Amino acid sequence: METNQMKELNKITYGAKIIANCTGLNHEGEGICKITGIKDGQEIENYVLFVNNMLPGEKGQIEIGKIHKSYGYANLLKVFSDKKSPNRVVPFCKHYESCGGCNIMHLDYKAQLEFKKDMIVETLKKIGGFSNPIVNTVLGMQNPNYYRNKVQVPFRELNFKVNCGFFAKESHHIIPIDECLIQPQLTTDIIKFIRNICNEFKIEGYNETNHSGLIRHVLIRTNHTLDEIMIVLVLTKAILNDKEKLIHKIINRYKNVKSIIINVNDKLGNTILGDKCITIYGNDYITDELCGLKFRIDAKSFYQINHTQTEVLYNKIIEIGKFNTEDVIIDAYCGIGTIGLIASKYAKEVLAVEIVEEAIYNAKINAKNNNITNVTFECNKAEEQIIKWANENKKIDAIIVDPPRKGCDQKLLNTIDLMKIPKIIYISCNPSTLARDLKILVEKDYDIIQIQPIDMFPYTSNVECVVCLKRR
């Protein structure tokens, strides 16, 4: 009897094709299916499979891929027509199935925003331990296309030719891209043009297997009007034959190229940029305008990738920060000074800190170019610099923190608490570390006043968030 029952159960093995129901989405936008079946001879209930492309409420046939002890992955083979999600749309990018760039383009845009809000709520519950977090509706884009102002494209040697495109999902296999709907068409054109020049001038593409070849990546940065373009050629060494001819070809065709840079990266691994930049044409920066101010952006410094939504984010910071002209504000993790400089007209003084030297160099120039005199910049770790300010007995009215994905250093959070800073504006691109840090701050002496997500990265499962906290 038992044996017959076991025969009817699904086999949880690589390659097995089974019918499954999708009940939710994980933070990567993959469908979550819980199945009962036999794994390694044992019956398992609620084994979790993450299914690429499947949406909540759908039922369909899936094929199991990689499996781990308590969860695995599967591919969607078909959705039963009467069990299709009303939120399913046909992805409008022809590369979507294979390219690893976007992951939720099969979800209607309005539903993408709802998914992002739910994901933040769930993460705040799970990691932050908050029982009923109130999260505002995600601020989305009117026209969520062609938004990326920075693109980094891998160049690889394939069959004695340079090939470029984006990496396929979870691999380093290159998908040649002839259009990408989240970056300007101009950017795609330049990438293809540079690939053709590389082939014409016999510039060898990088080979990851034996760490040979010359060109590894091309990074393009554009300003929001597309009249300033920076091209960074990431090479394994600083020698580029036919350099002058190459420059000439590029600037002849693309008049708005203001900067061409060689970046040298001879290290093994996936880090895109190396330490050394050599400007071979024009300036070592381009300029962009944000919230009425002008900013110089260099190759290595951080700059938000979606201009429209960055203005939405920065305006939100000013709105929820409710700063007044007597306030002294810290801008921690300030990059090229964008937030601190924009906030400076609402405050008496801004103290800004950032770890990247080039960013601080440009931040100081940005202050000068915008005639702003009440912001000072320090090149340091935020967690170290804030201790210095605390030791100087600085009275701080508010702190803006905008850390990288790994979130704030514990030392920084402790010092904010020790200094009894009345207001914190926390900007995050990673709900998990945000939830972790909010938990710490709430356990200290802070209340969350508002959580506002902003859709900085349409068609991907990433989301930006700004949170206002006040001291109890």
Q: Are 351 and 378 in contact (CB under 8 A)?
A: yes
Q: Does 413 bind ligand SAM (CB under 6 A)?
A: no
Report how many residues bind ligand SAM under the rule CB under 6 A.
Answer: 19
List 101, 154, 335, 458, residue binding ligand SAM (CB under 6 A): 335
Q: Are 334 and 364 in contact (CB under 8 A)?
A: no
Cα dist. 470→129, 199, 394 in Å?
A: 19, 57, 19
Alpha-carbon span 305 to 294, nearest angstrom: 16
Q: Does 408 bind ligand SAM (CB under 6 A)?
A: no
Q: Which is nearer to ligand SAM, 20 or 343 (CB)?
A: 343
List 304, 362, 430, 432, residue binding ligand SAM (CB under 6 A): 304
CA dihedral over 105, 291, 450, 332, signed as positive or negative: positive
Strand 229-235 relative to strand 257-264: parallel, antiparallel, unpaired?
A: parallel
List 25, 55, 328, 355, residue binding ligand SAM (CB under 6 A): 355
59: Cβ–Cβ under 8 A, 6 or more apart, which residues? 19, 20, 21, 22, 79, 80, 83
Q: Does 338 bind ligand SAM (CB under 6 A)?
A: yes
Give residue for tokens 């990673």: 430
List 71, 201, 302, 346, residue binding ligand SAM (CB under 6 A): 302
Q: How far is the CB of 409 from ligand SAM (least distance, A)?
A: 6
CA dihedral over 114, 116, 121, 122, signed as positive or negative: positive
Q: Which is nearer to ligand SAM, 259 or 304 (CB)?
A: 304
Q: Does 240 bind ligand SAM (CB under 6 A)?
A: no
Give residue for tokens 């976007």: 102
List 359, 435, 448, 454, residue binding ligand SAM (CB under 6 A): 359
Q: Does 308 bind ligand SAM (CB under 6 A)?
A: no
Q: Does 464 bind ligand SAM (CB under 6 A)?
A: no
Spell out the long-range contacts of 193-196 with Cβ–Cβ below 8 A and sequence spacing 24 or more: 193/250, 193/253, 193/254, 194/164, 194/218, 194/231, 194/233, 194/250, 195/155, 195/162, 195/163, 195/164
Dig out the tokens for 40 from the structure: 């390694």
Q: Which is nearer to ligand SAM, 229 or 334 (CB)?
A: 334
3-class secondary-structure state, position 137: coil
Alpha-carbon span 163 to 153, nearest angstrom: 10
Q: Does 419 bind ligand SAM (CB under 6 A)?
A: no
Q: Does 411 bind ligand SAM (CB under 6 A)?
A: no
Q: Does 333 bind ligand SAM (CB under 6 A)?
A: yes
Q: Which is nearer to ligand SAM, 147 or 303 (CB)?
A: 303
List 59, 169, 381, 471, residue binding ligand SAM (CB under 6 A): 381
Q: How far is the CB of 118 from ligand SAM (least distance, A)?
A: 24
Q: Does 344 bind ligand SAM (CB under 6 A)?
A: no
Q: How far is the CB of 355 from ligand SAM (least distance, A)?
A: 4
Q: Which is nearer to ligand SAM, 106 or 150 (CB)?
A: 150
Q: Which is nearer to ligand SAM, 51 or 342 (CB)?
A: 342
List 322, 404, 410, 447, residue binding ligand SAM (CB under 6 A): 404
Candidates 379, 246, 271; CA nearest to 261 is 246
Would residue 438 be called left, alpha or beta, if left means φ above 0 and alpha means ψ between -120 and 50 degrees?
A: alpha
Q: Does 321 bind ligand SAM (CB under 6 A)?
A: no
List 12, 339, 351, 360, residue binding ligand SAM (CB under 6 A): 339
HSE, CB side, 13 Å, CA atoms: give it for residue 120. 28
Q: Are 138 and 453 in contact (CB under 8 A)?
A: yes
22, 102, 164, 429: the catalytic one is 429
Q: Does 353 bind ligand SAM (CB under 6 A)?
A: yes
Q: Are 23 and 43 in contact (CB under 8 A)?
A: no
Q: How far is the CB of 98 from ligand SAM (least distance, A)?
A: 29
Backbone torsions φ then ψ of 442, nearest 5 degrees: -70, -35
Q: Which is nearer to ligand SAM, 303 or 457 (CB)?
A: 303
Q: Which is nearer to ligand SAM, 191 or 355 (CB)?
A: 355
Q: Does 402 bind ligand SAM (CB under 6 A)?
A: yes
Examine the residue annotation and report whether 33 is marked as an active-site residue of this protein: no
Give residue for tokens 């701080």: 396
Q: Which is nearer to ligand SAM, 120 or 334 (CB)?
A: 334
Q: How far is the CB of 383 from ligand SAM (least distance, A)?
A: 6
Residues contributing to the site for ligand SAM (CB under 6 A): 302-304, 333-335, 338-339, 353-356, 359, 381-383, 402-404
Enumerate the active-site residues.
Answer: 429
